[in-house]
Structure 1
Amino acid sequence: MKKKIKNKRTKKTRYSYSLKTLNDKFIHDQMKKEQCSPISIQNEKIGKKTNKNSCLSDSALIRLRDLWNARHPDIIIKTNDPREVWKNLYYYMKNTCNKESCWLKQNFANNDKYLKKELDESFAPEYPKEWKKNPNKWLSSVDILNVMKQYEEAYKCFNFIGPSPIDYDTYMLYGECVWNELCHFNLQNELTAGKTKIGVIFNLDPHHKGGSHWVSLFINIRKGTIFYFDSAGEKIPQQIEKFVKTVMVQGRNLSESKPINFVFDQNYPVEHQYGNTECGVYSLFFIVHMLEDKITAYYLKNHILKDQYMEKFRKIYFNGTT
């Protein structure tokens, strides 16, 4: 008599966990990684954000808790500890959301003005949907501005101007300049407003053309330096040099503050970029690293920052679209 052979079924491994057993690392590993904004990073430094695994401020987490409780009276989150609130929110929304920014878009939260602002400020901006098909698509002026606005908010000493066409001081039909902030730049006003670091991004095309190449300029008032960066290693154009000379003259003629004898420098003739897609990322990288004192003029003139290295910063300055 033949023996009956029992089929051996492969047991599937399942994660079985409760709210009490959750820890930060587990949640961090389960959720999709998002790039926090520079505002969020600064919040952590000054104690407004105590959970290093989260992009959200403590006050935003408490606000989310309150809105959750109002909408779900049968599943109240009682804790006042922002870290524990974060765990609770993950646990209750784990089947709906795989990332933090999704929490703020849920029905119980998406009409709240405070959380709308938090969504805009806590996470790096989303990259354009076109990048999915073309991940090296040129950065637009809107892409650049979305990033720079967050750095302006994070660093109160910083003012970003642009992105401007190269013919910034051309007068238009009704007497206004192509870019008024550059056309009427006033160094004393910047100092009075507490701005000691100024970043400018130019496009080398004039305003009536579609755009050709992004370049950047950084003014460090306290150090008395102005640096022009072109990833292609070309010499500063005459029109941008005109703006630099204006700033230098204003520095020498300061009346309400101690005069500044600015020193100008540029990376010419050192060429960093050999492809034709990353000039916008180079410009962002330069402004951000000069702002945060993470790079020097000497380094930019003696080391090559390759295109492949710049490509990585697309995933630092931007988040993937949902």
Structure 2
Amino acid sequence: MVRTRKFRPLNCNPAVSTPIKRSCMTVESLLLLRDEYNKDHPTNPIIADKPALIWYELKMRLQCEDEKCWLGEIDDKVKRDTIQKQLFAPDHPPEWIKNPLEWLTNLDIDSVMEQYQEKYADFEYLGTTSIDYDYIIDKSTGTCVEDLLCKFDLAKAIARGKQRFAAVFNLDKHDEPGSHWVSMFLSVPKKTIVFFDSANGGVPAEIRRFVKLVRSQNPEYKFIATKKEHQKKNTECGVYSIHFIIEMLHDYDKMLNIALKGRMPDKAMTRYRRKYFNRPK
């Protein structure tokens, strides 16, 4: 009897569509992996052509602990890395293994939110930025800390097919080390701009300037600021910020009601780390 290694499912890129339950593999990726495997095993190839059968053959033959390990069959590193990003949620930093409550960096936040931009064609992620996003860092060119925000043009964005927008801000300025993450969500269908601070620290003047910019282009937009302190500890503001945006994309009305009137405890955000990221090897 052949003994198999314990196989663990991974968190997928939310944009992935897969025919296999608890798998991140697309039909295309399974066919590619089969062909890559067969190149190295010409005398004992995988002959299956149905996705479920290919998946089973790869699992039994490669004896890996997860699907990400299968990508080792792909010789081209660039292709391998590209496919990994297409299929799986990002790995969390190794530092989290020793400190599971490590603060999220801008790179951590971007790696998650960019995948949701892939999932929703009408969603544009405007990035992570310091709160002084509209500070002009190059007067000769008029370049701001974050041009996507300081030069935001609602009409042009809608013309590109975008209906929902989000950004994550750090309350420190661009030349400061970083302090607390907050987020903002703009909905064209709802004609709202929603500001979310998990610690309820008030609305920064810079956020109000962005609202003023949008309203100068379309005065119908309503500004909503959540005024409930969900966060009681000091480690999960980054997770709160991305969770708010993700759930607003899933169900705007439900998430807004929770943000305004419900309760999102710190422990729940700690659990969401395990949903939005994979543990690295």
2:205 maps to a residue whose letter is Q
Contact 1:197 1:218 in 2 (8 A): yes
Counterpart selection for 1:306 from 242, 265, 273:
265
Q: Does residue 279 in structure 1 map to residue 243 in structure 2? A: no
Q: TM-score, normalising length from structure 2?
A: 0.95
The equivalent position to 1:50 in structure 2, one of 2, 7, 19, is: 19
Candidates 90, 93, 101, aligned match of 2:62: 93
Q: Distance in 2 between matches of 1:231 and 1:112?
A: 40
1:109 equivalenced with 2:74 (yes/no): yes
Number of matched residues?
A: 278
Task: State the SS of the aligned residue for 2:48.
Answer: coil
Q: Distance in 1 between matches of 2:148 and 2:94?
A: 31
Deviations 1:82-104 (A, max 9, x none): 1100000011111xx21000110
Q: Residues 150-209 of structure 1, C-alpha deviation per residue, up to 9 Å, x if partnerless?
A: 111111111111201111111114541111111110001110111101011101001000
Q: Give the unaligned 5+ runs of structure 1.
A: 1-15, 19-26, 44-48, 253-260
- Work out the percentage of aligned pairs sharing the same amino acid: 37
State the match for 2:157 in structure 1: 190
SS of the counterpart of 1:159?
strand
Residues 227-306 of structure 1: matches in 2 within 5 Å? 227-252=194-219, 261-268=220-227, 270-293=228-251, 295-306=254-265
| Offset at residue 53 of structure 1 (A) | 2.4
User: 1: distance between equivalents of 2:173 and 2:77?
Assistant: 41
**Shift in Å at residue 113 of structure 1?**
4.8
The root-mean-square deviation of aligned C-alpha atoms, in Å, is 1.6
Deviation sequence 1:124-159 (CA, Å, 0-9, x none): 100000101111010000000111111111111111
Distance 1:110 1:211 in 2: 40
Map of 2:13 onto structure 1: 37
Determine which of 145, 149, 154 is the counterpart of 2:110: 145
What SS does the corresponding residue of 1:38 show, helix, strand or coil? Answer: coil
**Matched AA of 1:126:** D
For residues 18-55 of structure 1, the C-alpha deviation after alignment (integer angstroms, 9 at most, x for no partner) is 9xxxxxxxx8x931221111111xx2xxxxx2112210
Query: Are 2:37 and 1:68 equivalent residues in the alignment?
Result: yes
Find the aligned partners of 1:90 and 1:235 in 2 and give their Cα distance: 51
Q: CA deviation at 1:112?
A: 6.1
Q: Is the 8 A contact 1:110 1:116 kept in 2?
A: no
Query: Matches of residues 127-206 of structure 1 in structure 2 within 5 Å?
Result: 127-173=92-138, 174=140, 175-206=142-173
Relative to the length of structure 1, the TM-score reads: 0.83
Name the CA distance, whole Å, in 1 between partners of 2:78 and 2:32: 11
| Amino acid in the other structure paired with 1:86 | W
Preserved contact between residue 60 and residue 115 of structure 1 (Cα < 8 Å): no
- Residue pair 1:56, 1:118 contacting (<8 A) in 2 also: no
Q: C-alpha separation between the residues in 2 aligned to 1:251 and 1:50? A: 43
Structure 2 residue runs of 5 or longer lacking an equivalent are none
Amino acid of the residue matched to residue 66 of structure 1?
Answer: D
Aligned-partner residue type, residue 143 of structure 1: D
